Amino acid sequence: MSPFARDLVYLAAAACLILGLRRLSSVKTARQGNALAAGGMLLALVVALLDAGIVGYGGIAAGLMAGSLVGTLLARRLPMTAMPELVALLNGFGGGASALVATAEFFTPGRGEATGELVAISLGLLIGTVTFTGSLVAFGKLRGLVASRPVTYPLQRTLNLLLFCGVLAACAAVIAEPGRQAVYAAALAAAALLGVTLVLPIGGGDMPVVISLLNSYSGIAASMAGFVLGDRLLIVGGALVGASGILLTQLMCKAMNRSLANVCFGAFGKIEAREGGGEGGPRTVREFSVEDAAIAMAGAQLVVIVPGYGLAVARAQHDLREVAGLLQQRGVEVKYAIHPVAGRMPGHMNVLLAEADVPYGELHELEQINPDFPRADVALVVGANDVVNPAARSDRASPIFGMPVLDADKARVCIVMKRSMAAGFAGIDNPLFYLPNTRMLFGDAKASLSALVAAVKAS
């Protein structure tokens, strides 16, 4: 195939990727869009395989088959509750592949000598490696293999800064004096370490930001490899993903009213719970039994459900839907209130509830649903905490002051399902639990919800 013909097919593939991504942004066309992007990818793959420069196909075939097998198994077998860690893992693989391509180019004789090329190789190496190790740490945190709380140690930021400078210096040395393999290896090792130390201090609740950011990095790393190889398709594909990741990152930060720097370096959630909130005196918590909750909800006109990460942990989405279904049969209006950063990745709750067959029309975003809380008879909070903390609206001293929250406290009765009185991810006390209209329903969400199913049926 002539280079010109190849470029034309690549152009068509790029168009498929762009149109596919565009269609992914509307529920009706999303599935088509995904298929279109996959088709573009297949087209590009076939053309790459026809490349005249390829001397042996054995290794490529082995790599493609092994990758397809693992990818298919991961995508088909993992439960929906494991989506955040799967997305993190896949991200890491993309970043790792980009770093390896940059490395292979560096070590190919006759390549990696022009300065422009070396800059792109260094950037590809740096971003790709940070994406790879950073994603693995994020995967570990989401899977519970690494502490989900922020891991901090003395001089953390200083050490990270020094490490970052070290990586940059090593990259500069690679560019200034090409061919020094030891320097390249040092840059690789330092970048790998940097990925780990950058993600370690970020807590589990900030994972939506981290995952979108790493998503963006994996795209930029692919773009850099495109610069090295002079491959426009790689540049376009990578840049699209880079931009979409950055956009999502911004959305997530905005939903928490925090800057990206604060999320990345603030070690948020490390703050110890403040003693009693300074209000003085013991505060009382009012409890509900499952039967009380069933009676309150069965007699309601409008019930708003606020799901959080605890719902995913308890894998109770099906039980929740069953409760909602029973209420709807009785003529109760049920709405779900979805906070943008509820869960561990952007849109986590939407996927979780979709799996339980909750139609997306019943899911409402923060701005849409907040006006409904004052007319709701019951707000049912399942495994959510910081996203319903009223202190974010009123308490200037609160670390999450200014974060947009769901107004669950404004419902006539607010039922909070929670395992214990332990503080949420941010380690912040939640005044919602002590309000006169709040009732706590302690216990595992799955156990409570299945008991609630029986109680609603009986009432």
Taking CB under 8 A as the criterion, which residues in 219-278 touch another protein? 219, 221-223, 225-248, 251
The pair of three-digit structure tokens given for residue 360, joined into one six-digit string: 């997306």
- As a whole number of angstroms, the distance between CA 274 and CA 85 comes to 31
Binding to another protein (CB under 8 A) within 64-93 occurs at 64, 66-68, 70-72, 74-76, 78, 80, 83, 86-87, 90-91, 93
Which spans in 345-429 are helix H?
348-355, 366-369, 391-394
Query: How many angstroms separate the first and last alpha carbons of the chain?
Result: 73
Given the complex with another protein, which of 117 and 206 has the nearer CB atom? 117
Is residue 53 involved in binding another protein (CB under 8 A)?
yes
Element (H, E) at 413: strand 413-418
- As a whole number of angstroms, the distance between CA 389 and CA 400 comes to 9
Is residue 417 involved in binding another protein (CB under 8 A)?
no
Is residue 405 involved in binding another protein (CB under 8 A)?
no
Range in contact with another protein (rule: CB under 8 A) among 33-41, 155-163, 281-289, 293-301: 33-41
| Least Cβ distance, residue 432 to another protein (angstroms) | 23
CA separation, residue 374 to residues 202, 279, 293, 338, 359 (Å): 35, 26, 19, 17, 24
What pairing do the DSSP bridges indicate for beta strands 413-418 and 333-338? Answer: unpaired
What is the phi-psi region of residue 177: left when phi exceeds 0, alpha when psi lies from -120 to 50, beta otherwise?
A: beta
DSSP state of 333: E
**Contact criterion met (CB below 8 Å) for 240 and 221:** no
Would you call 303 helix, strand, or coil by DSSP? strand
Is residue 337 involved in binding another protein (CB under 8 A)?
no
Given the complex with another protein, which of 223 and 398 has the nearer CB atom? 223
| Least Cβ distance, residue 427 to another protein (angstroms) | 26
Given the complex with another protein, which of 39 and 277 has the nearer CB atom? 39
How many residues in the shown chain lie near another protein by CB under 8 A?
118
Given the complex with another protein, which of 8 and 247 has the nearer CB atom? 247
Of 4, 79, 109, 182, which one interacts with another protein (CB under 8 A)? 109
Is residue 94 involved in binding another protein (CB under 8 A)?
yes
- As a whole number of angstroms, the distance between CA 247 and CA 174 comes to 32
Given the complex with another protein, which of 325 and 443 has the nearer CB atom? 325
Range in contact with another protein (rule: CB under 8 A) among 52-60, 185-193, 308-316, 440-448: 52-60
Catalytic residue among 386, 407, 409, 429: 386
Is residue 348 involved in binding another protein (CB under 8 A)?
yes
Which residues, 6 or more positions from 251, have their beta carbon under 8 angstroms from its beta carbon?
A: 212, 340, 346
Half-sphere exposure of 338 (CA within 13 A, CB side): 20
Of 11, 25, 159, 286, which one interacts with another protein (CB under 8 A)? 25
Given the complex with another protein, which of 15 and 165 has the nearer CB atom? 15
Of 2, 56, 158, 279, which one interacts with another protein (CB under 8 A)? 56
- As a whole number of angstroms, the distance between CA 171 and CA 191 comes to 10
* 91 closest CA partner among 48, 130, 42: 130
- As a whole number of angstroms, the distance between CA 338 and CA 320 comes to 14
Look up 407 and say whether it is catalytic.
no
Of 201, 203, 266, 340, which one interacts with another protein (CB under 8 A)? 340
Is residue 136 involved in binding another protein (CB under 8 A)?
no
| Least Cβ distance, residue 39 to another protein (angstroms) | 10
Is residue 8 involved in binding another protein (CB under 8 A)?
no
Catalytic residues: 386
